[in-house]
Structure 1
């Protein structure tokens, strides 16, 4: 389901040991104000449906970060990610004081594009050969939302 939109994971990247390393890294990033990772659960029964993260936090004169997200196939297009992105943008601007939140997606990922636009992100341009996805360098559309966009 996610293969067309995600980088290729190296061998062993999804095993138990790698997951433990990832949790330790995410805890360290949170403490250092470098990144914030969240899991998304369905309220009705606490089923894991996806994840979202604030990464590459830049302070000083920038006060911005990027977000990335994923959702399991059975839960796509049911509003879970819309709610999660809104909550994450609110957390980024209100709780940790960021001015700008950026996101990028492959042009063919119409679901992600629609989600970002629905939440209020503005398309700012195209980054050529932005990330290596499924073995190929792929262009990405760059989106951003500013704190003042949320006040409108």
Structure 2
């Protein structure tokens, strides 16, 4: 097996026109907890149940440690999204479940704080992470899944060039219930540039 050097370190910041992406840090705790608390009702329908201590500093510390371990193993690369104008945290995007070998694929997941939804930030984040996944990480396929009633997410993925592949029955436990998801994919040969 050939060792790939880019798998053993945190990813570099990714710079866009209106925002930049960088790996989460412990110093992001206050901004993260504030935004997540402010956006809780907006996010809960689309996410796994939040733990009772989800917004506590200790839980965030554990989250960062987990992120660092995954990045070191080359299995996931989480990023927080920050506006260029004021470095305000606006959401997060993760390239996770990275599988090497014959598959060379990964899964994209994302969230955006309610005050920043519908403003095109996540589309820009996808336009930054897609070339990173295909050129720097040398993945062949990206996947994303969303609940069929999440029309915003469906439109976002289609706009970014993802194609709907089908329905995943009872795929993820979201908001306390096993829910169907639509599977979308983007292949490195697709028109994403």
Q: TM-score range by the shorter chain?
A: over 0.9
Within the alignment, does 1:51 sit opposite 2:92 as a pair? yes
TM-score, length-normalised on structure 2? 0.76
2:81 and 2:125 in contact (8 A); partners too: yes
TM-score, length-normalised on structure 1? 0.96
In 1, Cα distance between equivalents of 2:51 and 2:109: 19
Partner of 2:169: 128
Alignment gaps of 5+ in structure 1: none
Deviation, structure 1 residue 85 = 1.0
Deviation, structure 1 residue 60 = 0.5
In 1, Cα distance between equivalents of 2:86 and 2:192: 33
Output one character per residue of 1:105-151: Cα deviation in whole Å (capped at 9) or x when no partner.
Answer: 00110000000000000000000111111121110000000000036
In 2, Cα distance between equivalents of 1:38 and 1:3: 20
Output one character per residue of 1:47-88: Cα deviation in whole Å (capped at 9) or x when no partner.
Answer: 100000011100000000101000001101111000001111
2:188 aligned residue (123, 147, 151):
147
In 2, Cα distance between equivalents of 1:21 and 1:151: 35
Alignment gaps of 5+ in structure 2: 1-41
Partner of 1:14: 55
Partner of 2:146: 105
In 2, Cα distance between equivalents of 1:65 and 1:84: 16
Comparing 113-122 and 128-137, the one that deviates more: 128-137
Within the alignment, does 1:86 sit opposite 2:122 as a pair? no
Q: Stretches of 4+ moved more than 6 A in 1?
A: none
Within the alignment, does 1:5 sit opposite 2:46 as a pair? yes
Aligned length: 152
Q: Equivalent residue of 2:156, what SS?
A: helix
In 2, Cα distance between equivalents of 1:9 and 1:3: 8
In 2, Cα distance between equivalents of 1:85 and 1:69: 9
Deviation, structure 1 residue 13 = 2.6
Deviation, structure 1 residue 18 = 1.0
